[in-house]
Homo-oligomer: A and B are copies of this chain.
Amino acid sequence: MNKPTSQNAFETPQVTTGPLPGSRRVYTSPATALHLKVPHREIDLHPTANEPPVRVYDTSGPYSDPDAVINVETGLPRWRTALIEQRGGVESYEGREPTPLDNGGATGKYLAREFPVRHRPLRGNGTGPVTQFEFARAGIITDEMIYAAERENLGRRQALEQAAANIADGESFGAAIPEHVTPEFVRDEIARGRAIIPANINHPELEPMVIGRNFLVKINANIGNSAVASSVEEEVEKMVWAIRWGGDTVMDLSTGKNIHNTREWILRNSPVPIGTVPIYQALEKVGGIAEDLTFDIFADTLIEQAEQGVDYFTIHAGVRLPYVPLTANRVTGIVSRGGSIMAKWCLAHHKESFLYERFEEICEIMRAYDVSFSLGDGLRPGSTADANDRAQFAELETLGELTRVAWDHGCQVMIEGPGHVAMHKIKANMDKQLETCGEAPFYTLGPLTTDIAPGYDHITSGIGAAMIGWFGCAMLCYVTPKEHLGLPDRDDVKVGVVTYKIAAHAADLAKGHPAAKLRDDALSRARFEFRWEDQFNLGLDPETARDFHDQTLPKEAHKVAHFCSMCGPKFCSMKITQEIRDEFGSARAPNSVDEAEAGMAEKAREFNAKGGEIYLETKD
């Protein structure tokens, strides 16, 4: 079904490059690891602000750095390879030979062009730790941990330098967010199973990041062709586009033909962890017939993708045979693709799931490459009617059981969660997940808080995502406006990412993340002082903000005008407030009504002395 994409007709993917408005990609090196160059983004403010640039977390990769040489044909620099080889425990080997089946049997003009460079894969050779979890348990701080700590710390030193009033408060529901993230803290969180750094040793292009309840809330953006739409070129640009706006990880959910080649292009050009659902490709390999799936085909697919460098696999090993009938009376049955594939296999063979029965073998494969588990919620509710039912929670209990098995095999684990859940049932999901799965990071899809708004499910789910992020969810899988209706285009991906950045940031604020409110406050000051450009640039989407502003007040002059379109030039509430502030300078401002009333008596005398004409200047 895919579009013809012959080797000759294939165009080099065009990707979006250049800095975001008003900002620069900058790098810092941790004191303990000067060989690391950790990226951030700094937003410059107008000179009248008299404030330093605002530093924010940067997911965009080298694409936003004008000094970086971007060549999609060769991929990003493979800077981690030397570090991985140096710490040992791995071997380079010939690797699995790709087969036509890997691309769904696409041949001739239907076969997407191969990525031009072929790399020999690495794998663990059993002589030492390979995964971040194994290193953490062994008490070893890896470069990835140092790197991730440095990213998380963004602005924290700044935060501590602020006045006490500026220190974040918050309610973190038992999370343990430190004021300053040390590499040792990252190591400890990973060793406890409370955090992961998805970082396949065959994805050396990665800029490592950490996912866990005591770190910034992360978001995932899904891309992927499907049998009826999209193309290879579009997918690479979708990934670059999604991380430009803030995607912390990207899942490639491609189905149909050319899966293997598409994924290679994405991985070689991705600075963020890439996740997949290997059962999708395995299903392609058996012609779409779920009951023809075998463990061997599945395991071969895991190795294929692990050698390419996929950082985390969604594996629906919790969809057990006895749980399947629990979904029969649901309003929307099983809506997870992976879940329904496994349900169908279980029923057709009348056997327990091979993913569940042979889970330890899966662990061994994933351990050898440090592919993290994302234990899939194949029985998640597809409607608010089905939320928190027996099928969903039975599977969650099994995921908790499997988490411990995976840990015993040295693997990193996170747990996927719903789905469609009305607001009053969200916290129970988070609490049960923490309890059942030993605090392994939770990674939810939304949840959508109502079913009645197709076309707006980024919003129905953004509400639930913000709430569950506050309650302790570590990563939020985005939902685009096209959810339930069609495939997202470029604009939908951006809207989905920005909506989920809002949810994640709202959660960080509410949890009391030490640095989160610095950006809000900087933007609020810019807004108050009519620094329009700063307001745009500090926002999550400067381009849209500027465009909206210019629709009403298109003249360049208005961007420094001391009024906004809501009130017009004559009367402006913010302008009046500025006058009040000029009158009651910070030193003299009262802290209570009593103090204010006392101060007022004095003010009255001053006013009379001045003839009460303080605001005379506004009459013109």
- Nearest-CB distance from A301 to chain B (Å)? 16
Q: Is B506 in contact with A337, judged by CB distance below 8 angstroms? A: no
The chain B residue with its CB closest to the CB of A283 is B571
A517 to B422, CA, bound (A): 10
The chain B residue with its CB closest to the CB of A381 is B524
- Nearest-CB distance from A503 to chain B (Å)? 7
A485 to B553, CA, bound (A): 9
A379 to B489, CA, bound (A): 42
Query: Given A228-B553, A347-B583, A569-B227 in contact, is the A454-B576 Cβ separation under 8 Å?
Result: no
Confirm or deny: A49 has a beta carbon within 8 angstroms of a beta carbon on chain B.
no
Binary B-proximity of A279-294 (CB < 8 A = 1, otherwise 0): 0000100001111000
Interface residues of A in 253-306 (CB under 8 A from B): 255-256, 283, 288-291
Chain B residues near A456 (CB, 8 Å)? 498-499, 502, 540-541, 544
- Nearest-CB distance from A575 to chain B (Å)? 8
Q: Is A525 in contact with B331, judged by CB distance below 8 angstroms? A: yes
Chain B residues near A169 (CB, 8 Å)? 424
A424 to B171, CA, bound (A): 6
Q: Is A552 in contact with B228, judged by CB distance below 8 angstroms? A: yes
Confirm or deny: A487 has a beta carbon within 8 angstroms of a beta carbon on chain B.
yes
Q: Is B1 in contact with A544, judged by CB distance below 8 angstroms? A: no
Main secondary structure of the interface of A (DSSP, over half): helix
- Nearest-CB distance from A488 to chain B (Å)? 9
Q: Is A568 in contact with B256, judged by CB distance below 8 angstroms? A: yes
Q: Is A612 in contact with B517, judged by CB distance below 8 angstroms? A: no
Confirm or deny: A475 has a beta carbon within 8 angstroms of a beta carbon on chain B.
no
Size of interface on A: residues with Cβ below 8 Å to B: 148
Confirm or deny: A177 has a beta carbon within 8 angstroms of a beta carbon on chain B.
no
Confirm or deny: A35 has a beta carbon within 8 angstroms of a beta carbon on chain B.
no
Confirm or deny: A339 has a beta carbon within 8 angstroms of a beta carbon on chain B.
yes
- Nearest-CB distance from A199 to chain B (Å)? 29
Confirm or deny: A589 has a beta carbon within 8 angstroms of a beta carbon on chain B.
yes
Chain B residues near A584 (CB, 8 Å)? 324-325, 328
- Nearest-CB distance from A550 to chain B (Å)? 8
Q: Is B339 in contact with A573, judged by CB distance below 8 angstroms? A: yes
- Nearest-CB distance from A432 to chain B (Å)? 16
Chain B residues near A538 (CB, 8 Å)? 452
A487 to B567, CA, bound (A): 10
A538 to B383, CA, bound (A): 14
Interface residues of A in 404-457 (CB under 8 A from B): 420, 422-424, 449-456
A288 to B568, CA, bound (A): 11
Chain B residues near A574 (CB, 8 Å)? 332-333, 335, 340, 382
Binary B-proximity of A340-383 (CB < 8 A = 1, otherwise 0): 11011001111000000000000000000000000000000011
Binary B-proximity of A465-476 (CB < 8 A = 1, otherwise 0): 011001000000
Query: Given A328-B589, A340-B573, A390-B593 in contact, is the A226-B548 Cβ separation under 8 Å?
Result: no
Q: Is B615 in contact with A568, judged by CB distance below 8 angstroms? A: no
- Nearest-CB distance from A287 to chain B (Å)? 9
Confirm or deny: A619 has a beta carbon within 8 angstroms of a beta carbon on chain B.
yes
Confirm or deny: A394 has a beta carbon within 8 angstroms of a beta carbon on chain B.
yes
Of the residues B1, B340, B422, B523, contact of A510 by C-beta under 8 Å? B422
Q: Is B1 in contact with A454, judged by CB distance below 8 angstroms? A: no
Q: Is A334 in contact with B450, judged by CB distance below 8 angstroms? A: no
Query: Given A485-B548, A565-B226 in contact, is the A524-B614 Cβ separation under 8 Å?
Result: no
Q: Is B486 in contact with A349, judged by CB distance below 8 angstroms? A: no
Q: Which of A68-76, A122-130, A595-603 contacts B (4 or more CB under 8 A)?
A: A595-603
A506 to B614, CA, bound (A): 48
Interface residues of A in 35-77 (CB under 8 A from B): none
Of the residues B332, B348, B548, B567, contact of A337 by C-beta under 8 Å? B567
Chain B residues near A527 (CB, 8 Å)? 332, 382-383, 451, 454, 484
Chain B residues near A519 (CB, 8 Å)? 452
Chain B residues near A484 (CB, 8 Å)? 527, 535, 564
Q: Is B455 in contact with A552, judged by CB distance below 8 angstroms? A: no
Interface residues of A in 509-543 (CB under 8 A from B): 509-512, 517, 519-521, 523-525, 527-528, 535-536, 538-541
25 A-B pairs in the complex with CB atoms less than 8 angstroms apart? A227-B569, A228-B569, A291-B615, A325-B603, A328-B584, A328-B585, A328-B589, A331-B521, A337-B573, A339-B573, A340-B576, A341-B576, A344-B579, A348-B614, A350-B612, A383-B520, A383-B524, A384-B509, A422-B506, A456-B541, A463-B503, A463-B506, A484-B535, A486-B551, A487-B565
Chain A residues close to B by CB (< 8 Å)? 1, 169-171, 226-229, 255-256, 283, 288-291, 321-337, 339-341, 343-344, 347-350, 382-385, 390, 394, 420, 422-424, 449-456, 458-460, 462-463, 466-467, 470, 481-482, 484-487, 489, 498-499, 501-503, 505-507, 509-512, 517, 519-521, 523-525, 527-528, 535-536, 538-541, 544-545, 547-549, 551-553, 564-571, 573-574, 576-581, 583-586, 588-593, 596-597, 599-600, 603-604, 607-608, 612, 614-615, 618-619
Additional A-B contact list (12), CB under 8 Å, known A226-B565, A331-B528, A385-B524: A1-B568, A323-B593, A326-B589, A332-B577, A348-B612, A384-B509, A423-B509, A452-B539, A456-B540, A458-B459, A460-B506, A463-B506
Counting from the closest, the 5 A-B pairs by CB-CB distance are A333-B577, A227-B568, A486-B552, A328-B584, A383-B524
